[in-house]
Structure 1
Amino acid sequence: MTTASTGNRPRTVRWLLRLHRPALYGWAALVVVLAGVLLAVRGPLTDAAAEGWRQYNACQGEDTACSYDQDAILRYKDWSGYATFAVTALPFLVAGWAGGALTGRELETGTAWLGWTQSTSPARWLAVRLAVPAAVVTAGAAVTVWLHHLAWSAGQGRVDTAKEWYDRFVFHANGPSTVALALAGLAAGALCGLLLRRTLPALLLGVVVTAVVRLAAEFALPHLWPAVTRLAGTDQVANGSGITVDEGYVTRSGAHVPLSHCAWDRPCADVVARFHTYQPRSHYWPLQLTTSALILAVAALLVAACFLVLRRRTGATHTAQAPAVPTGAAV
């Protein structure tokens, strides 16, 4: 590696930060606002809701009218829901920005080609545009996920309407799978920008691809760790709360059949028990880590695809062979 190429790296990073300064400020502001909301949920909102539920439970069984702080209970429910939704939406914001601004707009306006003619190879250009935002996104998403876990934990056992750990939004907002999905969204958006080279289509497609990754991860989630099975009588519900993998009936032959096997027009003479296969709370971290690893593997594949597409579009990565700036492009 030459001294010139080594010296170009800090300049490329500075240029990237300057070019996307509004997005950097916007991300920092979003993290600060979310942090404030989550701290409020963890502290005064949870305390007020817990007191409201204490008052409500104390009223049970009394004949006389009894008042309780319903507004505090509803306020906690609303703001904790807003915060959870916002945290789980972060990967989609990252994907939209990566597709629309990070690569799509730079290729559409010719800014990328301008950089390739100034001693920055396409491969280094892309590496910087993935590495620097990845560090910023990881730091911001990790902080919000950690604060969300603290806020959610504060309501457990104190607020009766607090969401369970296996809620589809709470599960991801509480752990590293959201950080992993944000990185996958960054790679997906960058890839869409490289493929489409237009701002709005790349933005939309990046969000769609990230949504597909999220749905695939949720589909695979219950099956990523050995589950627990509980049995009960045919007229009972098998115990166990968590992420349901499967449930139904057990026949005399030992086969597991779905709940639809028994209906009012189909007697269940061959059924001897009811089963429930699920992931208990003790499996939370194994599920989080395996899900995060799966999403990060997808992110790695998307990053590899980014470099492959860039190489096919630009040919050799030497700056002297970089494509010319398109006619009418902004320079």
Structure 2
Amino acid sequence: MTTDPTAPRPRTARWLLRLHRPALYGFAALVIALAALQLALAGPLADAAAEGWRQVNACDFATKCSYDQAAILRYKDYYNYATYAVDALPFLVAAWAGAALTGRELETGTARLAWTQGTSPARWLTARLALPAVVVTACTCPLFWLHHRAWSAGQGRLDSAEDWNALATFHANGPTAAALALAGLAAGVLAGLLLRRTLPALVLGAAATGGVWALVQQLMPHLWPTVTRVTTLQQGGVGSGIIVEQGLVARSGGGHLPLPHCDTTATCDAALAKASGYYTVYHPASHYWPLQLTTSALVLTLTGLLVLASYLALRHLTGPLRPTTQPLGAEGALVTA
């Protein structure tokens, strides 16, 4: 077969959008629903819960007291739903990318058919990385901004509001949510290229995303310089922030001692008798944005490595394959010389 240089190049982006239109509609519906929920959390739901907490704090529990418990619980439940949904997006993207975006097309032979009809394997893969990446970024960035807005609406007003360093809240509250979603996309694409089967690629893509998430969580506290604070025994240790290390300050010499295992009161008293206070190595609230940005940079670096691995896997899969096809005839048959 010979290549016709005058043959029109297929419109890969348009075909990709049409092929995955149901997934696009479903993702758009999910994003719209989450956005609406988070707008409600930042407005009427937060206001109702704040009024409920005002009633609680004004109560004299020596007598019968009424307060809007339903509003308080409703806000907490809906906040958790929104937070977990935003955090789950990278896994959903990874599962879709592994199963439908690459795994199914390689399993059914659709990808190889495209490679023989004027679309090179590299161009095929680039379209499956670039176009979904634009959609994922455009959807997750407003979601984490709205989540941060909903979280901020409860600070100082709701006694049950989550701290900034709560694991689920931290990742849903900033650009790490978008970065992790892109990592999920790259992990799913790579899983599909490696396994070339729908269901196994779905599982591997989601599992790889979980691995990226766990690795990032372990490295995150070490991406920005920490603060060390020493407190007295009466003050106790620092309770708010991302704790990296905590222990006792020795009474003699000022060295560091591990926190005691208080099996009994006597054990605790004996350990505390050797200490003059507590030391805490941690990240305070002022480190929120530095940690968000450095963590996002780390995730995007890992995403770049996954993308590179995807191109290497594609090269191993296709070898010297080149598009050598003529335009299709009226009946769909190849026109050859």
- TM-score under structure 1 normalisation? 0.91
Aligned mates of 1:47, 1:229 — CA distance in 2: 37
Contact 2:261/2:267 (<8 A) preserved: no
Contact 1:244/1:277 (<8 A) preserved: yes
* Gaps in structure 2 of 5+ consecutive residues: 326-337
Q: Does 1:233 align with 2:235?
A: no
Q: Does 1:149 align with 2:153?
A: no
Other-structure match for 1:56: 56
Q: What pairs with 1:206-217 in structure 2 (closer than 5 Å)?
A: 206-217=205-216
Aligned mates of 1:225, 1:43 — CA distance in 2: 34
Other-structure match for 1:119: 118
* Gaps in structure 1 of 5+ consecutive residues: 322-331
Other-structure match for 1:20: 20
User: Residue type of the partner of 2:124?
Assistant: W
Structure with the bigger percentage of helix: 1
User: Residue type of the partner of 1:47?
Assistant: D
Q: Does 1:82 align with 2:86?
A: no
Aligned mates of 1:6, 1:292 — CA distance in 2: 43
* Count of aligned pairs: 317
Aligned mates of 2:219, 2:260 — CA distance in 1: 23
CA pair 57-106 structure 1, distance change in 2 beyond 3 A: same
Matched position secondary structure for 2:260: helix
Q: What pairs with 1:196-275 in structure 2 (closer than 5 Å)?
A: 196-234=195-233, 236-239=235-238, 241-251=240-250, 252-260=252-260, 264-265=266-267, 267-268=270-271, 270-275=274-279
C-alpha distance after superposition, 1:94-126 (max 9, x if no partner): 000000100000000111001001000000000
Q: CA RMSD in A?
A: 2.0
Contact 1:250/1:272 (<8 A) preserved: yes
CA pair 85-102 structure 1, distance change in 2 beyond 3 A: same
Aligned mates of 1:261, 1:253 — CA distance in 2: 22
User: Residue type of the partner of 1:133?
Assistant: P
C-alpha distance after superposition, 1:285-319 (max 9, x if no partner): 00000000000000000000000010011012522
Other-structure match for 2:320: 316
Deviation at 1:232, TM superposition (A): 1.8
Matched position secondary structure for 1:165: coil
Deviation at 1:62, TM superposition (A): 5.4
Other-structure match for 2:334: none
Contact 2:116/2:322 (<8 A) preserved: no
Aligned mates of 2:210, 2:151 — CA distance in 1: 24
- TM-score under structure 2 normalisation? 0.89
User: Bigger radius of gyration, 1 or 2?
Assistant: 2
Aligned mates of 1:234, 1:123 — CA distance in 2: 63
Deviation at 1:272, TM superposition (A): 3.0
Matched position secondary structure for 1:275: strand
Matched position secondary structure for 1:160: coil
Aligned mates of 2:154, 2:231 — CA distance in 1: 31
Q: Does 1:300 align with 2:301?
A: no
Of 268, 277, 280, which residue of structure 1 is paired with 2:281?
Answer: 277
Identity %: 61
Other-structure match for 2:9: 8
Contact 1:240/1:280 (<8 A) preserved: no
Matched position secondary structure for 1:260: coil
